[in-house]
Amino acid sequence: MAKEKKVEQITSMDTDFAQWYTDVVKKAELVDYSGVKGCMIIRPYGYAIWENIQKELDGRFKALGHENVYMPMFIPESLLQKEKDHVKGFAPECAWVTVGGDNQLSERLAVRPTSETLFCDHFKNVIHSYRDLPKLYNQWVNVVRWEKTTRPFLRTSEFLWQEGHTMHETEEEAREETLRMLGVYEDFYLNVLAIPAITGRKTEKEKFAGAIETYTIEPMMHNGVALQGGTSHYFGDGFAKAFDITFTGRDNTIKYPFQTSWGVSTRSIGAIIMTHGDDNGLILPPRVAPVQTVIIPVAQHKEGVLEKANEIKERLSAAGVRVKVDDSDNSAGWKYSQYEMKGVPVRLEIGPRDIESGVCVLVSRVSGEKKTVAIESVESEVAAMLDYVHNELVDRARRNLAQKTNEARSYEEFLDCAQNRPGFIKAMWCGDEECENKIKDETGGVKSRCIPFVEDKLSDVCVCCGKPAKHMVVWGRQY
C-alpha cells in the first residue's frame, strides 16, 4: 500500500534527528507553538498521553501513602533566598512578577521553578511532633524556568510536572524514601513507558541546588543522547534548618526533620518520542497510548463490515482497551499512514472475507508483524498483542542502550567515543570536578550522567587525569 504525502513529509531520523523530532511532534498533533516565547500548547492527543502518565504515577504515589496538595505558584524573593545554594541555582532562571493590578509590588514574586521553599514554609506550620511525621506530599503543577533555546517537551520555559516533597523523622527513613521514589520512576519508565534506563547518583557538580544527594534515571534516546528522565533528591536537614522546621522527638528533645523531593515532568513525553519513534512517526507504548488499538474496516461499504467493526470496538472497549474505529471516507492506505504517524500500537484490520472466516488481522506498529486471530477471542488476542508491542519496544530500546554504551580505558579512547560513537561512555573518574569540566570542554558537551549503583571496575585510574579512580561514571551528551 503506497504511503501518502502526510508521511513522506517527515524528515528521516538519520538525515536530521532534530528535524525528525520537530516533524513528529507537529504532525502527530502533540503540540502547537504558541505566541509566547518558549511556551508550548499541548494539544488533545499530547495531553491525553500526559493524563495517562499522571494516572499511572499518581496511583503509585498514593499506594505508597502520598497525598496531593496545592502550593501557591508565586514565591516571594525573600522566601526563595532562605536556602543559599538553592537560590543560587534557581534565581537566574526565574520569571518575575513585579506588577499586580495597577501597582508595582514591594517585593518581586518568582513564578515557581520548583517548590521546596513553599513546602518548607508550610511544613513549619504543620510539623510539631514526631507524630506529625512523615509528611508525604506531592503536587501536579506547572513550573517555569526561563530558557533561552527551547524545544517542545524537552526544554520549555513552562512545563508540567509532579513534585513530591516529604519530611521524615530520621535520616535513614528519608534516604529510603529518596531511593524508593527513584525505584518508582524506574518501574514506571520500564513497565509503563517501555523505556529501560540507567539509574544512579549525580556527581556533586550535577546535583540539584541545595541537595545532599541527587539520584537520577537516564534513558538513552534513539540517537544515543541522554535525557534526564526524573530525579529524586535527599536534602538532609539543610532546608529544615534554614526554615527553622523543628519537631519534638520521641525522646522529648527538639529535632530537625529530614527531607526529600522528586519529580517527573512532561519531558517524559519527549523521552517516549525519541526512544520509540521511527521514520513513519510516533510509536506510543501501549500503556499510555490514548488510542491503543485502531480498527480499520476494509471495503467498509460492503454489507456487515462497519457493523462488525463497531461490534468489535464495543467488545474491546468493555474489556478496557482504548479503541476507536476510523470509518471516515479516507482510503485504507491513508488511514494506515495516519495511525502509524500517531503511533497507535496495534492496528486491527477487518474486511468482508475476514468476517466470513470469523477472523481479523492485528498489526504491530513496531515490527509491522501481522497476526490473524479469531474474532471470537479478540479481547484476549488484542491484550496479548498490546503486551507483545510493549515487550518489542523494551527489547528494541535495550538493544539500542547496549549497542550505544561504550567503555573507555584511556583519554584517547574517551575522546574517540565522544567524537565518533554516539551514546554513553563508561569510564573511571577520580572524583574531581576539574576532570568533569575538562571533559565537557574538550568534547563539546559530554557530561557525567551518573555514578550507577553497580560500578564496573574498568581500571584503577581516572580516565582523564590518571589519578586514582574513585568511581565509574556513565558519561554522555544530554537533552
Which positions lie near its own copies, rule CB under 8 A? 32, 34-36, 39-44, 47-48, 50-51, 67-76, 79, 92-102, 108-109, 111, 118, 121-122, 125-126, 137, 141-142, 144, 146, 157-158, 160
Cell numbers of 201, please?
547518583
Asked if residue 235 lies in contact with residue 261, where contact means CB atoms within 8 angstroms, the answer is yes
Beta bridge mates, 214: 233
Phi-psi region of 457 (alpha: psi -120 to 50; beta: other; left: phi over 0): beta
Q: How far is the CB of 426 from its own copies (least distance, A)?
A: 35
C-alpha torsion sign, points 409, 412, 413, 418: positive
Q: Are strands 370-374 and 359-364 parallel, antiparallel or unpaired?
A: antiparallel
Q: How far is the CB of 76 from its own copies (least distance, A)?
A: 6
Q: How far is the CB of 22 from its own copies (least distance, A)?
A: 15
Closer CB to its own copies, residue 152 or residue 238?
152
- Residue from 204, 264, 198 nearest 424 by CA: 198
Q: How far is the CB of 91 from its own copies (least distance, A)?
A: 9
Closer CB to its own copies, residue 242 or residue 446?
242
Closer CB to its own copies, residue 63 or residue 454?
63
Cell numbers of 137, please?
506530599
Q: How many CB atoms lie under 10 A from the CB of residue 60? A: 17
Residue partners of 312: CB distance under 8 A and separation at least 6? 295, 348, 350, 360, 375, 378
Q: How far is the CB of 181 from its own copies (least distance, A)?
A: 18
Asked if residue 89 lies in contact with residue 133, where contact means CB atoms within 8 angstroms, the answer is no
- Helix intervals (H) in 107-157: 116-126
Beta bridge mates, 465: none
- Helix intervals (H) in 404-470: 411-420, 433-443
Closer CB to its own copies, residue 76 or residue 183?
76
Q: How far is the CB of 142 from its own copies (least distance, A)?
A: 6
Closer CB to its own copies, residue 43 or residue 151?
43
Q: How far is the CB of 156 from its own copies (least distance, A)?
A: 9
Closer CB to its own copies, residue 121 or residue 381?
121
Closer CB to its own copies, residue 130 or residue 146?
146
| DSSP designation for 8 | H
Give the SS3 label for residue 244. Answer: coil
Beta bridge mates, 452: 200
- Half-sphere exposure of 229 toward its Cβ, with a 13 Å CA cutoff? 34
Place of cell 586514582: 468
Closer CB to its own copies, residue 140 or residue 479?
140
Closer CB to its own copies, residue 100 or residue 368?
100
Q: How far is the CB of 141 from its own copies (least distance, A)?
A: 7
Q: Fill in the amino acid letter for 124.
A: K
Give the SS3 label for residue 35. Answer: coil
Residue partners of 358: CB distance under 8 A and separation at least 6? 374, 375, 376
Q: How far is the CB of 322 from its own copies (least distance, A)?
A: 12
Closer CB to its own copies, residue 158 or residue 354?
158
Q: How far is the CB of 203 from its own copies (least distance, A)?
A: 25
